[in-house]
Chains A and B, each alone.
Chain A
């Protein structure tokens, strides 16, 4: 077990290094470097100024050498400065990472406690009106354009009813203010996430019901509810866990739209702005953190497998 986890860690690290190169290359390929932007913004910069600034930012080196230098510094714990915030990258990212964890964690948790029971019930009562109702809601969550949902929520709760702030983070420190600012983004994300989870839980439940051991258990006279608790739920959880782990990584960087619409300072928006603003260091570390989260979530999912399904051994 320990061996397995260690090997997975090593693999994840390798993937991270490869990803860092790919991302570095991609960002390097994007047209216009920071100095181009400065030159176009400031007519007084001479060609010499441009060359001087390029050298100052290390942009005069070939991409690969820049990458190696960056990698060396990063492995030594120096992630550089963010160009857009003029602060060390980690100082910019860590508070936003926390914001993201808060937003994601809350909505993920809410989505789970709503969607898992709903999905399992839909599976158990497949093709009943209840199932159709849950399905309809699930598909609605999957199908709604995220920014449309956000603006409708803002209109309803912030403007028409005036209950909740329309966006922003709340004045730092005030717990209730911060909480009030979290409600709408969490609600939006929960609605967007829950649909997918319901569908998976439903499909997994139906699949589990088809298995021979369920039939055997029923034949042996175990009550329906007993079957559900002993066999179905446990087996249904396996695929659900996988997909949740995968989705968690996507969620992490993927709340971009929700964050933008509600003016919430999370990772998605930060990464997006850093890419558009040519903030190399910030974009790179942000994307790597997102990748790392996905990898870790997958690892957790695999370990959870072993726990849920004794047939799978982790060696």
Chain B
């Protein structure tokens, strides 16, 4: 018996076992592996991030905004042409139409009363109408100190909410800014579901909210879709919401699959497990470009560059960087056009300042700094960095011209650009050293507490005509005293800029405001507190049969218009 036992063992050496295993695999799974082509009227979307919560007003993250775009609608938003528009309301309040009225505040300032009318047919998925009571409740949650709502500032600015009738309410806001009618972050909460939970314990509300404890509750949605199933971390399935007031959506089922690894995301697209990759949370630009090269005929690929501003913050406390000429030399020694053309095939255009060329206030006249190594070299010489040793410039004191550049470790595109810049600066005798950190350290501490010695490379994500007050105003410089509040990480301090920022915010006249914006961009280009790099593009990859997806180029996701998406029969 033992001898017999050994014989089969001998033949079962791993080398012979392997083909056998593979054969088994083929038999077991090969047959069922032919992926069924997407049945018409179903849509599977791939994204790279799972929402940490489904509560519309707690934590802002793109994955959540994307999903909620299909199940809810904010009162107002920016549309594809970057104009403010009503989604849940019926008419944008303006002074002209009388829905916005100036009013005096108790402290002597001037505020505004804004009247909003909710879409008459807007109804939560369980049949309860969306009413002004929901608006009041939303405001109460927002301003409660323990509710954990992220954008507390919005609710602080709203002094009171008056109910006119079931579908009409008035917001009393404590200031008049030029975009006074827009309350884009004001997402209505279903009072009939959430109020009891909130009142049972405001401090526990953010954890107990039905949006997370019972996300498939149909009463949480009033948009074209409602959430049908959630597989935490991997999948969200949506089905049409019967109470939706607008055009009925085309797809009977939308599945949003979360695949964080972009190589795997691409493989899923190719194998047909997903139909499209959302541009908002999808492939890197170079992956998308490579993908287009190979599969361009099967998919529609649209690159939408918008309001994601990749740049390098310069620490202006650094004595060498304090000299404006040094900053100008730095920017003129790098060939951003070549980077854009060669690395991004022109899909991510060069940025010349913080205002997007797609924005109506963009300045064509502010100074620009094309690649000009001779000019850069002469500036460097002028400042005394003349002695080139081992390829690095030194000044009269024998100090080398060296900087440290930091960015988020693991962001491939940034690391690529970083190396190109480093190489180009080296050609001018500027020694730039890379020290990257994981995002949580980089943003959590290094940047926010201004611990980067010279350069920090990252992106600002903004909305149309976004006043960069928190980034450029001198009172937004984070310090230990102010508990590291503010985003003026460069430490930029220019009284004229401060004044401009304050004026733009409250200037209601479009033409006058445009002039102020022009001036702002001129100063920005002159002072160069940051090195502008390029405008990041979202790469929307769609099957050729999908129609009606219109990228916005800003923070509002395409899913806010999901009912316009259609299926074109081949």
Contact = CB atoms under 8 A, between A and B. Distances in A.
A246 B268 CA distance: 35
B33 A46 contact: no
A260 interface: yes
Contact of A169 (B13, B231, B470, B482): B231
A171 interface: yes
A68 interface: no
Nearest to B489: A40
B23 interface: no
B273 A168 contact: yes
A223 B5 CA distance: 14
Nearest to A264: B234
Most buried by B among A39, A86, A92, A118: A86
Contact of A166 (B5, B206, B264, B471): B264
B413 interface: no
A133 interface: yes
A44 B470 contact: yes
A167 interface: yes
B14 A162 contact: no
A45 B145 CA distance: 12
Interface in A171-217: 171-172, 176, 179-180, 183, 187
Given A165-B271, A166-B267, A265-B233, A134 B13 contact: yes
A70 B441 CA distance: 24
B342 interface: no
A274 to B, nearest CB: 11
Contacts of A42: 60, 150-151
Contacts of A263: 234, 258-261, 264
Interface residues of A, number: 73
B559 interface: no
Interface in B437-460: 438-441, 443-448
Interface string A23-60: 00000001111001111111111110111110010000
A158 B486 contact: no
Nearest to A51: B483
Contacts of A43: 470-471, 476, 486-487
B104 interface: no
B225 to A, nearest CB: 18
A32 B153 contact: no
B417 interface: no
B485 interface: yes
A121 B483 contact: no
B179 interface: no
A117 B12 contact: yes
A201 to B, nearest CB: 12
B243 to A, nearest CB: 26
Q: Which residue, B14, B33, B483, has most C-beta atoms of chain A within 10 A?
A: B14
Contact of B60 (A30, A41, A226, A228): A41
B485 A47 contact: yes
A39 B448 contact: yes
Contacts of B148: 53, 56
B444 A31 contact: yes
A36 B444 contact: yes
B232 A95 contact: yes
Interface residues of B, number: 77
B53 interface: yes
A279 to B, nearest CB: 9
A275 B451 CA distance: 22
A36 B451 CA distance: 14
Interface string A108-125: 000000100110010000
Given A49-B152, A165-B268, A36 B484 contact: yes
Contacts of B207: 81, 86-88
Contact of B53 (A86, A261, A262): A86
Nearest to A133: B15
Nearest to A34: B444
B13 A121 contact: yes
A237 to B, nearest CB: 16
A191 to B, nearest CB: 10
Nearest to A46: B485
Contacts of B30: 163
Given A31-B444, A39-B484, A168-B268, A183 B153 contact: no
A168 B271 contact: no
B263 interface: yes
B212 to A, nearest CB: 5
* Smallest CB-CB A-B distances: 3 pairs: A32-B444, A166-B267, A44-B153
Interface of B: 2-3, 5-6, 9-10, 12-15, 17, 25-26, 29-30, 32-35, 52-53, 55, 58-60, 145-146, 148, 150-154, 203, 206-207, 209, 212-213, 229, 231-235, 255, 257-261, 263-264, 267-268, 270-271, 273, 438-441, 443-448, 470-471, 476, 482-487
22 contacts: A30-B441, A31-B445, A32-B445, A37-B440, A39-B485, A40-B448, A44-B154, A84-B52, A114-B14, A117-B12, A121-B13, A159-B271, A162-B35, A166-B273, A168-B264, A172-B235, A176-B32, A226-B2, A263-B259, A263-B264, A276-B438, A276-B440
Given A39-B485, A44-B154, A263-B259, 11 more contacts: A32-B443, A32-B444, A32-B445, A37-B444, A41-B60, A45-B152, A47-B483, A87-B207, A87-B232, A121-B13, A261-B261
Interface of A: 30-33, 36-47, 49-53, 56, 81, 83-88, 92, 95-96, 114, 117-118, 121, 130, 133-134, 137, 151, 154, 158-159, 162-169, 171-172, 176, 179-180, 183, 187, 223, 225-226, 228-229, 260-263, 265, 270, 276-278
